[in-house]
Structures are given as structure tokens and as C-alpha cells.
Amino acid sequence: MKQSARTRLIEERKMRQWSQQEVADRLGTTRPNVSRWEAGITTPGPYFRTKLCELFCKNAHELGLFSEPKDHAQDLPIAPPSDIPCWVIPYSSNPYFTGREECLVQLIQDLCINPESIQVITGLPGVGKTSLAIALAHHPLIQKQFCDGVIWVDLGPTPSLMETMSEWATLLGITPSEAQTVTSPETVARWVHQRMHTRQMLFILDDTWNVSDVVALQVGGNRCRYVVTTRSPLLAYTIAPSSVTSLLPLSDAASHDLLSHLAPQVSQCYPQELEALVRSCGGLPLALTLLGRFMHTQSLYSSSRRLLRTLQQLHQDLQARFQVAIPKAVGDSQPGSLLGTERSLRLAIDVSVQQLPLPAQRALFALSVMAPTSHSFSEEAALAICNVPAETFDVLVDSGLVEVCQEDRYRVHQTILDYTQLQEPDSAVEERFTIFFVTFVETYAQDFHVLNQDLPLIIYALERACVQHRYSLLLRGILALQPFVEQRRLYSLAQTLVQWGQQAAMALQDREGLVRIWLFSGNVATLRGEVQHAQHAYFEGLELARELQHQQLLGELLVLVGGALGETDISGQAERYLLEGLQALKGFDDKASLSLVFQYLGELADTLGKSTEALSFYTRGLAIARQTQNKKMISALLQNLGSQAVRYGHYAQAVVHYEEGLACARELGDQQRESALLMNLGMLAWYEERQDEAIRFSYESLQLAREIGHQMRISSVLQNLGMMLRHQNRLTQAEQYLQESLEIARQIGHQWLIGETLGEVGFLALKQRQTTKAKEIFTEMHQRAQVIGAPMLLGLALFGFAQIAEQDGQLCEVQSLVQESKANLIQVDHHLTQEVDAWYSVLVDNHRVEKE
């Protein structure tokens, strides 16, 4: 790249205050690549050139990206060509070259200026090592640099070195008499070396399997260079530890580009089907090339119906995809194939598999059990599933068929996994797979980071257990995974696990297991704020627990039923369940349930206006939670204590409670509790007349609630925002928020939220002078408040009636409504008592002035 281009790229990057790593991350490349582009060492290929233009909002000319790779051959001393230059290069059967431009440029530069004599290209079967080497051999800079010739050798697993060197001797002009004297590999090698030691040549040793073959064929002098391609990473790093190019599969964009070029008509007519086919190829150029040529041929004579059917079959049918083949042509170089044979993806992989010892082959096919996930796995998992020693697994890694993707983690490319699925499944392997991951979940049930790393494999193992009716393993795995699923709020997964768990428990006639599955179902519904669903699940579990006379489960479920009822039903019924649960838990060291029952009893007492009793319950629950360092309960109880402090006007104490609770919630990753505490901090800021901060806290709370899908929390925060915006006279937005809040509250059947939100809707209607609507709203609110026995809601409804009476001119009725409203609000020490007093005082003063 020219200096001007380098300067422009640097200026554009620095203008945005980005590091080279940040640019690399945005482009999907590496920092060294960005560094080379900026330094003028390499030129980005078409794909990254387009990405750079999009990133910097410039065209390629403005960024100076049209320069060719620097001709390093001009800067190096080149010996004059010999009298008989040797050119033995396969022709390029696929002249369309994409996705490897940067690798090609880098290899050219390394060969021209790097003192290392050997460059190694390694990668999976079909990843394009040979194609890259062919493109390299045909590049004009390479042919200019190595003016004495480029010699290509297709080695394979069992090469004939004597035959290869004899061919070289013939190329170099060996006479018949000399040929009779050099009859061993050693003597031929010496003869060839004597003729080549002054030449400047490039040797390409394709499809190399043995280090000894590479050593034997290094017969050139110090002006010669070697390019070696191999499937084995072990061999690559043994030959040239500092000069290895590891070819990764093509990007999705490059894969699509290649397939579209090979089958343009298919790309135009069936873009979605072609995209699915691209994904199934896993970025392997050989697979893309074979399928592209096959589809192009089909498109030339097949009907559209037949072409579409073929596309769909290739995507869905592994056998069909692996059977696609094309004949090997003269001059073609394809590892593992002879003239007249066919090239196919299956044959390419067969060559690697056939070189493995039988135990390693069986181990590779055992890994097919993980095919649908293509997820990384630990060595521990591989050894258990394959039932082999570590040494056998190491053979797979050394072969390149199993890749090291990070420390102590491995991966098998999706195409290799697809290949292994061509074999009949082994039931023993599937059983080992399920047993390993169920045991794994039980072992690491509280180590959520470890579980998250292997979650796709865990889920698939449980799915296989369900399909194969391994119900005992399935139920064990689900119950062990339950805490993780609840903590991470994986709602969709939880729903699936509950269905599988119910199926397993009923098939096993495991009634206790079924109770625990109902408990799981209720917990997930609670996390989503779906109160009625939670009630149903807890009641189902409770009925079974009573039949089983399982006291600990009975106590836990009684508490949970009471807590769920406290939000939607008659308070007396909720209290009965909670007290029965407290009694049932005696004799069990279940401090989590004890702490929870005191939380629920406190919240119930608060609802009934029994603030002192509520404070006592909260304090007892918090003491138990602190004993066991149960930060989830600590956070919840601190939130309740903070709310009480706000009610009494103790704002400084409320901040202390809220901030400690928020720290606990964030440490646990409990986003629901974090959202709740942010909502409370917003209300506290509102009471302290810090309106902008209050709204900011509320929006932050709402964002979290929406992210985790907690319906009750979403409704609650929207209600608060509606109230705040009403006071700011932003009535349209306030109405939208309150309408959504009320709809959600009705959907989940949360009686308290319905009543509270009705109050806000009613006060908004009053501000909009919609007296009839306000009266309907407050009437419904009053009725609901009477049913659940909520004095705070009764007080607010009566305050609404008082304002309606004032707007209707019924001043005599206003006084009695205000007094009745205050009587209810005083029961719960609600701060609105002062607002009612202030409103009534202004009304009386205005009426007195009017009389005067």
C-alpha cells in the first residue's frame, strides 16, 4: 500500500479515537492485519476493502485502497535465470479465487523477504490449502522472484520419493549414463542438489503427511524456498514453528460470493435456498466448489421444480451432499485422488480418517453424538464419551480433525461432524454422552460459569435422553439444571425442561419428581411476573405434596402459594397458607424458605396497613438471610425495608437500604431485583423533587424489566412513569404508559397492580377533565380494593371520588370523602395523606375567597 493510503487509514482511525484492535473487531479481522494495512505492508482484499469503506464512510479512492501489493521481488537480488528453468505447476481448475486474498499476499511477501526457507499451510480437508498453493505458484510476483522455476510435488500419505527425485533429475537434464550410476534415493538427491544449489526455485510439497518426506526433498540451495501443505497441525509446527499459515474456513460473505459465482442462475432464482446451502458447507471451499459446479450443471437443463427440489435435498440430506462429485482432470491436483477418479468431500475426508489407528477412528465417530451443536467441548467430556485414553484423543488433535479452539477446549468442524454421522449411531456412545452431562450438571450445579460454557451440549444431552426414554437420567438432569435456568432467566428453555420433566416423572410414576417439576414451573412463572401461572403450578405441586406427606416440600410450597396469593387474592387466604407453611417448616433447616415466609408475611402486613408488624417480619427475615449469606433474600428484604423508610420520610435510611440491596442484586446478576430497586430509587428521587433523576432511574429499571420479560415489573415501572409524566403535564405519553401498565396487570391477574394503576389512570382522567371516565375508573378501583382488603387503595379511590365531587360542584360530599380517604391512608402511614390535606386546604381557601 502506498504511503498516502497508509496515512489516510491512520488519520481516519485516529479521528474516531479507535485503536487498531477496535478497528479489527469492527471489521471481523485481526489487529496484525490492520497494522499491516496501515504500515503499507499488505493491501486489504475486496471483502475487507468494502468493509473499510463502510466503516469510515469513504470510497476506496479516498482511502487509497487501489494499490497493488508491493513488488518485493524488485527489491531483492535475483540470480539470472538458468539455461533450463523448470516449471511444474498444476493448472488452476478454479480460476475464481476469493476469501484468501490476504493470505496470498502475506505468503508472497514471506517468501520474498522472509529468511525462513519453509512456509507451511495447514488446515482441514477441503479448506483450500491446495487451491491457495496453486494460486501462489501462478502469481506473477512468485514466478518473477523464483525465475529458475516452481516445482510442484503431490505427495500424499505414501509418496514415492525415489520416483519424484528421478523426475527432477530428468527435468535438470540427467544423461542416460548418469542415470545408471545414481540408482538410490541418496545418490539421486546428491545429484539433484549439485544441479540446484545455485538456482532460485520454489518447491511446493502438497498434501504432506510425514516430516521425513519434507526433509528428504529439501535438495535445493540457500536461494530456494519451500511451501508445504499439510492437514496435520502437529506436522506443520514441527517443520516450521514460526512460519505456519493456519487456514480457517471462509467467512459467510466469501462463501456466498464463491457459490454465487459458480452457480449464478441459482443465486438469482433461489437466494434463500442457496444461503441455507452455504451454511451447510461450513465455509469449506471444496464443498462450496463441488456443490456450486453441480448446481450450475443442474440449472442448465433442469426444470425450476427439479432444481428447487435438488437444492432442498442437498441442504437436508447429508448423504446427498457428501455424494456430490466431479471427475479429476488432467493436470488437476487433488489430494488422495488419481486420474480418472472422482473428487468429493467424502473422499477428501476419507483420506484423513483412513490414516488414523482404529481406536482413533472409533473415537472420531463417537464424537458424532455432538453433531447437532458443533459446540466446543472439554477433554474430560471427549474422553468419557469416546471411552478412550488421552493418548488416543491426542492422535485426533494431531491429525487436525479435532481442533484446539481455546485452552482446554476443543471443537470438531461441522462438516467433519456431518461426515461422522454417515455411520450408524452407536447406542452405547449416546448413553455415555447423556450420563456424562447429567453427572456434569449435578457436579457443577452451583458453578453457573462452568454450566454456561457447556449449555448447548447439556441441552442436547437432555433432549436425547427424552427421545430415547432415558427418563431417570432426564429427570435428574433437569432438576440439577433448575437453579442455573432460574438464575439466568432462560424462560424458553425452562418451558421445554418443564414439559420434558413432566413427561419423565409421569413415565417413571415419580410423584415427588413431579412435585419438584411443578415447583420449577411455578418459580419460572414468578420470575416472569406471571402470577396466575405461578399460582396454578404451586397449587398442583402442593396437592401432590400433601398426598405424599412430604413435609419439607409441603412447607416450601405453602409459602410459595401464600406469596403468590398475596398479590392476587383475598389477603386472609394468603396469610393462612403462609402461617401453615411456617408451621410445616419447623424441624427443617430450610433457612431460605423461612426467610422467604417472613418476607411474604411482611409484605402482606404492609398491604393491610400493619406497618409495625411488617417491620418485625422484615427484620426477622433479614437476620436469617444474613446468617446464611443468602444475598437474594438480603436484597429483597432490604428493598422492603427501604420502602418502609420512605413511607415514614426517612429518606437517608432508605438510600442505605436500597444501595446495599442493589449491590447484592448486581453481584448475583439478579436483574429483576436490580430493576425493582432502581424503580424504588426513582420514586425516592421523585419524593425528594429530583424529577430528572427519578425519570432516569425509572427508564433504566424499565429497560432491565423488558430485557428479562418480567411482566409485573414492567407494569409497575410504567405506572410510576405515567404518574411522573402526568405531574409534568406530558399527558399523551403518560396515558400510553398507564394504558400498557394496566393491560399487563390485567393479563397477569395482579390485583394490587390493577387497583394501583386504575388509580393513576383515574387521576390522569381528572387532569384531562374526563369526569365520567374518571368516575368509572375509581368505581372499579374501589370495588377491587374492598375485595382484597387494601386500605391504601381504598384511600386513593376515595380521594379520586372527592376530586370528582369537587369538579361536579358537590362540595358537601367532598368533605366526607376526604375524611374517609384520610382514615384509610393513615392506616398505612401513606405519604398521600399530606397531599389529600393540602388539596383540601386549597379547596377550602378558594371557596372562602369566593364567598367573600
pLDDT tens-place string over residues 362-412: 999 999 998 777 789 999 999 999 999 999 999 999 999 999 987 789 999
Provide the 10 A C-beta neighbour count for residue 296.
17
Sign of the dihedral defined by the CA atoms of residues 193, 195, 200, 201, in that order: negative
3-state secondary structure of 221: coil
Instruction: Check residue 199 and report its DSSP letter.
Output: -
274 neighbors 258 (Cβ within 8 angstroms): no
Confidence band (pLDDT; 50, 70, 90) for 537?
very high
For residue 321, pLDDT over 50 is answered with yes
Which residues are CB-contacts of 640 (< 8 A; sequence separation ≥ 6)?
A: 599, 602, 603, 606, 614, 618
Confidence band (pLDDT; 50, 70, 90) for 64?
low
CA distance 801 to 818: 9
CA distance 451 to 438: 11
Place of cell 369526569: 771
For residue 41, pLDDT over 90 is answered with no
Instruction: Check residue 157 and report its DSSP letter.
Output: S
Q: Determine the pLDDT at residue 19.
A: 83
CA distance 678 to 731: 24
CA distance 366 to 470: 19
Of 20-24, 101-105, 710-714, the one with minimum mean pLDDT is: 20-24
Closest C-alpha among 196, 194, 167, 185 to residue 84: 196
Provide the 10 A C-beta neighbour count for residue 403.
19
For residue 76, pLDDT over 80 is answered with no
Query: Over the chain, what is the mean pLDDT?
Result: 87
Sign of the dihedral defined by the CA atoms of residues 282, 283, 287, 290, in that order: positive
Q: Which residues pair with 724 in a beta bridge?
A: none
Residues 655-711: pLDDT tens digits?
A: 999 999 999 999 988 899 999 999 999 999 999 999 999 999 999 999 999 998 889
**Alpha-carbon distances, residue 199 vs 169, 194, 255, 274 (angstroms):** 14, 10, 39, 48
CA distance 241 to 379: 24
Q: Which three cell numbers stand for residue 150?
A: 516452481
690 neighbors 654 (Cβ within 8 angstroms): no
- In the chain, the N- to C-terminal Cα span, in Å, equals 91
Of 295-304, 430-439, 637-646, the one with minimum mean pLDDT is: 295-304
Mean of pLDDT values over 564-570: 72
Q: Which residues pair with 246 in a beta bridge?
A: 122
Place of cell 450438571: 441
| Amino acid of residue 763 | F
Q: Which three cell numbers stand for residue 738?
A: 398507564
Confidence band (pLDDT; 50, 70, 90) for 70?
very low
Closest C-alpha among 92, 2, 7, 15 to residue 56: 15
Give the burial class of 670: count Cβ atoms within 10 A of its Cβ; 0-12 exposed, 13-18 middle, 19 or more buried.
buried
Alpha helices in 728-809 (DSSP H): 731-748, 751-767, 771-788, 791-807
For residue 852, pLDDT over 60 is answered with no
Domains and CATH numbers, the chain: 3-68 (1.10.260.40), 80-246 (3.40.50.300), 252-323 (1.10.8), 359-425 (1.10.10)
Place of cell 484492535: 21
76 neighbors 112 (Cβ within 8 angstroms): yes
Mean of pLDDT values over 147-158: 91
Which residues are CB-contacts of 37 (< 8 A; sequence separation ≥ 6)?
A: 1, 6, 9, 43, 44
Length of the chain, in residues: 852
Residues 490-515: pLDDT tens digits?
A: 999 999 999 999 999 999 999 999 99
Question: CA torsion 104→105→109→114, rounded to 10°?
Answer: -50
Closest C-alpha among 374, 99, 105 to residue 252: 99
Residues 736-762: pLDDT tens digits?
A: 999 999 999 999 888 889 999 999 999
